Copies of this chain bind each other. A is one copy, B any other.
Amino acid sequence: MVKKGSTTIYDIAAELKVSPATVSRVLSRSSHPVKEEVREAVLQTAKKMNYIPNAQARSLKLKKTSVVGVVIPSISNPFYPSIVRGMEDTATQEGYFLHLCSCDRNQDRTAHYIQTMLEQNVDAIISIYNDNIFASLSGYVSHGGILVNLNTTTDPYVSDRIYNIQVDKLLEARMATEHLLSLGHKKIAVLMSKLDYQIRLDKVAGICQTLEAAGLELPEERLLIYGRDCQARELCREDTERGAQLVDAMLNRCPEVTAIICMNDIMALGAIFELKKKGYRVPADYSVMGFDDSFSSPYSSPTISTVALDKYSWGQSLMGFTIERIREAQDKGLKRLPTGVISEQGLLEPITLIHRKSTDVPRTSPGA
């Protein structure tokens, strides 16, 4: 900041010998009538004097900042950048800005960021896949802040400013599993990082459901879980490495499987790498599936089948929804969506299965 003497509406008013009120009316497109020639003069002088409105002053009076806080696990997790880009584009279009926070799903970080956003008076917060965000939100919610929360659980914490958009992760998992079943696989292993987060639990649950519905099951030894915690810097490398290591474990514990479902495409990449290194053919010996459609998946060898969603458009929709809610609350007393839990369906682009032939060929006689 440190502006010695930025032009203010007072300077313009003085220059033109009109009142600051008039200047403000012109510059903020108030509905209050101003004589055309005065309006012109103000506009011209503002330009000439290089006037730049002061957002803080405006926010202070208007009690709105046009800033939307975005809380995600980490921008360095390749799942999020396109979502954020979608959000950014819609926000920009509507005159809003992003306040981006990577909270690592960490209680303390989250709490700190929420506090920050509270002080910054963001107009709303969008939280994506942050399980325990509510614990950090007591303050925000009690201050009447708007929260759009994308998650997988029906959280009991509901007020008329909280919108829980519930994503059906079980569906994603079901789609993946059914895909493999339809290809003839019966023995499927699952590779995951720690089950601390709901989205992972839900994936496992969805897989189990589907298997059971088909008269199959997921025995303990086929669910392989990596325990350590993530580093922010190298999130992808971590996941790939884990994929590789989990495959090792798998080959010991349950080599009889014919297909492997990985937590995401990045882990799948590592899994495939390791399988090939060990001399196995993919998908001849093992089929591998992922989630989230990483950019490399159509170009890896073999290519990776995946369950995907349109990240960019999800970002757009979420931001659009949020801004609608903000405006609703500002034109207060207007219709309000039935609050509480909202299904993703209809609001967000549907999830799709992307079948890439080279990973998971149909097989009549599955087996290594």
Which residues of chain B have C-beta atoms less than 8 A from A266's C-beta? Answer: 295
B102–A139 touching, CB < 8 Å: no
Across the interface, name the chain B residue whose C-beta is closest to A274. B299
Which residues of chain B have C-beta atoms less than 8 A from A296's C-beta? Answer: 236, 240, 269, 294, 296, 300
**Interface range on chain A (Cβ under 8 Å from partner):** 35 or more
With contact pairs A4-B144, A237-B295 given, residues A76 and B65 touching in the complex (Cβ less than 8 Å): no
Across the interface, name the chain B residue whose C-beta is closest to A6. B143
A298 and B272 CA atoms in complex are apart in Å by 12
Across the interface, name the chain B residue whose C-beta is closest to A61. B56
B85–A118 touching, CB < 8 Å: no
B52–A75 touching, CB < 8 Å: no
B65–A121 touching, CB < 8 Å: no
A88–B60 touching, CB < 8 Å: no
Answer yes or no: A35 CB below 8 A from chain B CBs: no
Answer yes or no: A20 CB below 8 A from chain B CBs: no
Answer yes or no: A276 CB below 8 A from chain B CBs: yes
Give residues of chain A (50-96) contacting chain B, Cβ–Cβ below 8 Å. Answer: 50, 52-57, 59-60, 63-65, 74-76, 78, 80-82, 84-86, 88-89, 92
A52–B118 touching, CB < 8 Å: yes
| In the complex, per-residue mask of A196-217: 1 if CB is within 8 Å of any chain B CB, else 0 | 0000000000000000000000
A54–B119 touching, CB < 8 Å: yes
With contact pairs A232-B89, A266-B295, A294-B296 given, residues A53 and B119 touching in the complex (Cβ less than 8 Å): yes
A78–B75 touching, CB < 8 Å: no
Which residues of chain B have C-beta atoms less than 8 A from A269's C-beta? Answer: 296, 299-300
Shortest distance from the beta carbon of A322 to any chain B beta carbon, whole Å: 14
Which residues of chain B have C-beta atoms less than 8 A from A299's C-beta? Answer: 240, 269-270, 272-273, 300
A1–B81 touching, CB < 8 Å: no
B64–A56 touching, CB < 8 Å: no
Answer yes or no: A101 CB below 8 A from chain B CBs: yes
A276 and B302 CA atoms in complex are apart in Å by 11
A78–B232 touching, CB < 8 Å: no
What are 17 A-to-B residue pairs whose CB atoms are below 8 Å?
A: A1-B64, A2-B64, A2-B144, A3-B121, A6-B143, A52-B115, A52-B119, A55-B119, A55-B121, A75-B75, A76-B82, A76-B85, A97-B99, A97-B116, A100-B100, A240-B296, A240-B298
Besides the known contacts A1-B123, A50-B139, 15 further A-B residue pairs in the complex with CB atoms under 8 A apart: A1-B121, A2-B332, A3-B121, A52-B115, A54-B60, A54-B121, A56-B56, A76-B82, A80-B81, A82-B233, A97-B99, A237-B295, A266-B295, A272-B299, A273-B299
